[in-house]
Amino acid sequence: MINDLAAREDGPVRVSGWVEKVRDQRHVQFVVLRDESGAVQLVNGGVLREPDPENPRSDILVPRTRTISELTHGTFVTVGGELQHNERVKLGGVEIQIDEISVVTAALPDNPVADDSGIDVRLDWRFLDLRRPEQNLVFRIQTTFLHALRQVWVDRGLIEIQTPKLMASASESRAELFEVEYFEGKAFLAQSPQFFKQMAQAAGFGGIFEVGPAFRADPSFTSRHATEFTSIDMEISWVDSHVDVMDLHEELMVAGISAVEEKHGEEIQKLFGVELAVPSRPFPRIPLAEAKEIVKAEGYEIPRADADMDPEGERRIAAHVKQKYGYDFVFLTDYAASIRPFYHMRHEGDASLTNSYDLIYHGVEISTGAQREHRIEVLEAQAVEKGMDPAELGFYLDFFRYGVPPHGGFGMGLNRVLMLMLGQSSIRETTYLFRGPNRLLP
């Protein structure tokens, strides 16, 4: 691999990759070759031309020189040559003097993706867009981040599960559901693994996590919404309140960002201009009602008093926390029962509030968490209060008829976290293949 070359001694090497740039000069040719690990400069020097036997006053290009001159951007080649360390070479301090070059697969001369191409063109040709170093880095960061989270979960004894994405009924409500044909009947694509996460608590798993797809039939065209996204989910037993869930959520975020900063911090600074900051614990925690009063005092009032914090409110409370406490994260807690699902546990002594939270990162909500209601009679009453028919929730409510411990958890959007971590303008940049209301290809 190209990123291994700097550690090798001078001598014969063989590399393969995509042609990124060709520079033809009178007595030398330069090629920038890139593989998934990095880029290296190739040099074809010495005799580039040989006498033309049919025309002594002229000469012809030697075959290797002609091959290099005709290379198109994106052509995949294999090169053999002499590795040389050279401090004057900006690209890694090494270069390869070409002895032989062979074209494995040639690229068409007209590349459909240019440096100034818009996001829609780049998504149309996503496999070409993903060759860019910054896009390659996004998914190496994703791998590092998820590995760090898994390490925390595994060290704590949690079990990884994979829940079904085809459901017989809605997981939370019938809003924003994709309905699909299923043999002689209908099925729904899962909005979240919520009910199945809670089933694991009734099953005695004690704690579970999942990283998998979720689907929302939401016709939004914002920078942070998708119709299919990767959801990071966790559910744990034996909680005293949602504070236990927040504590573990903090631990996970610190572990994930620490791992990314340690492994990729320099590259992130170079390619994205972002200096990644590892947060300390605990994160600031502000009740939702208090957060609304803070942004109101600073000049912005949430349009509806009984509503969730809207995007502008999220940005403003995040700016307040950043200025006052120096944090990029803030937990908004104690959401009103009127704007939370029926299965969120209510405050003891104040049924108008729930043991729940949203986690805000760089001014955008990335996660919702809560303690769940585990008492069957309370669950049924709260479902009816929300206008739901308990009969349609039969399989879910059965979990609580045979003994289930107090539990809680969260769901978090992976692509949104990466977008905010890297200062990107849209989750389209941090999703391998984006799906939205008007995009099902590639």
Rounded mean pLDDT, 339-356: 96
**The pLDDT of residue 56:** 67
Question: Mean pLDDT for the chain?
Answer: 94
**160 known member of a binding site:** no
**290 known member of a binding site:** no
Tens digits of residue pLDDT in 255-307: 999 999 999 999 999 999 999 999 999 999 999 999 999 999 999 998 877 78
**414 known member of a binding site:** yes
pLDDT at residue 364 is higher than 80:
yes
Percent of the chain with pLDDT over 70: 97
pLDDT at residue 418 is higher than 90:
yes
**The pLDDT of residue 173:** 59
Query: All domains of the chain, ordered by start, with CATH?
Result: 2-105 (2.40.50.140), 126-430 (3.30.930.10)
Band of residue 392 on the pLDDT scale cut at 50, 70, 90: confident
- Find all residues with CB under 8 Å of 90, minimum gap 6, and list them: none
Element (H, E) at 246: helix 242-272
By DSSP bridging, strand 94-105 and strand 55-61 are unpaired
Element (H, E) at 361: strand 356-361
- Find all residues with CB under 8 Å of 409, minimum gap 6, and list them: 197, 233, 234, 235, 236, 245, 369, 370, 372
pLDDT at residue 350 is higher than 80:
yes
Tens digits of residue pLDDT in 111-169: 999 889 999 999 999 999 999 999 999 999 999 999 999 999 999 999 999 999 999 87
Say which residue, 220 or 196, is predicted with more confidence.
Answer: 196
pLDDT at residue 57 is higher than 70:
no
Count of residues making up the chain: 442
Structure tokens at 119: 């996001």
**304 known member of a binding site:** no
**368 known member of a binding site:** yes
CB burial readout 283-321, b (16+ within 10 A) else e: bbebebeebbebbeeeebebeeeeebbeeebbbbbbebb
pLDDT at residue 58 is higher than 70:
no
**The pLDDT of residue 131:** 95
**346 known member of a binding site:** no
Q: Are 133 and 20 in contact (CB under 8 A)?
A: no
**216 known member of a binding site:** yes
**365 known member of a binding site:** yes
